[in-house]
Structure 1
Amino acid sequence: MIYVKVYRVQGEVVVAACDEELLGKTFREGELKLEVKERFYKGDLVEEDALEGLLSEATIANLTGERCVSKAVELGYVDEKRILRVEGVPHAQMARIMW
């Protein structure tokens, strides 16, 4: 399961999603720090498949965890070469250019 929170701000649709077990944790590696904050990510607890519909309407997405990031790669929203790993935890961001 994953946590998903959707923000709608000034015409943007921001999707924040993380694997359930990562919520509230902080990861550090060198100078990198990845905080999986509850106030940002904690929304609805859903199956990974729910990301398909959410990412299709998202203009921006922040994705953290193996399940979230893998699903976004599978759906073609994230390039595997653009995934950041902090203490082995994958994190990816997506921005859609709207013309």
Structure 2
Amino acid sequence: MLLSERETSEGLLVAACDADLLGETFEEGEISLTVTEEFYGGDEVDAETAVDAVRRSDVANLVGTETVEAAVDAGVVDESTALTVDGTLHAQVLRLG
């Protein structure tokens, strides 16, 4: 998994993806998802590290079966809220309050 963390005016933004998806674009209907180096590129980490970052985040974007399933298994993403875009899992986390 690749993990990128950055502070924004909205708080901690975490982007994580399956490493083999970097540079790929997934399209389905009106939805287009591009896994760019600029946004998702970062350090290669294990699932536990990625999940810990999502837990600390205010906003998280996750792409890929391995990444999203790790977040679902850890209870930080509800499986019913994950999207499948062109066969690839995508989930977003937004903490309010």
| Paired position in structure 2 for 1:16 | 15
Q: How many residues are matched?
A: 97
Letter in 2 for 1:95: L
Q: Partner residue of 2:83?
A: 84
* Percent of residue pairs bearing the same amino acid type: 40
Residue 75 of structure 1 and its aligned partner are, at CA, apart by 1.4
Find runs of 4+ consecutive structure 1 residues off by over 4 angstroms.
Answer: none
CA distance in 1, matches of 2:59, 2:14: 6
Q: Which amino acid aligns with 1:92?
A: A
Any unmatched runs of 5+ in structure 2?
none
TM-score, L = length of structure 1: 0.92
Secondary structure in 1 aligned to 2:90?
A: strand
- Offset from partner CA, 1:41-72 (integer Å, 9 cap, x none): 00101111212321221111000001110011
The C-alpha deviation readout for 1:16-51, integer Å capped at 9, x for no partner, is 000000000001112211110110000101111212
The equivalent residue for 1:51 is: 50
The answer as to 2:40 corresponding to 1:30 is no
TM-score, normalised via structure 2 length: 0.93
Q: Following TM superposition, by how much is the alpha carbon of 1:10 offset from its aligned partner in structure 2, in angstroms?
A: 2.4
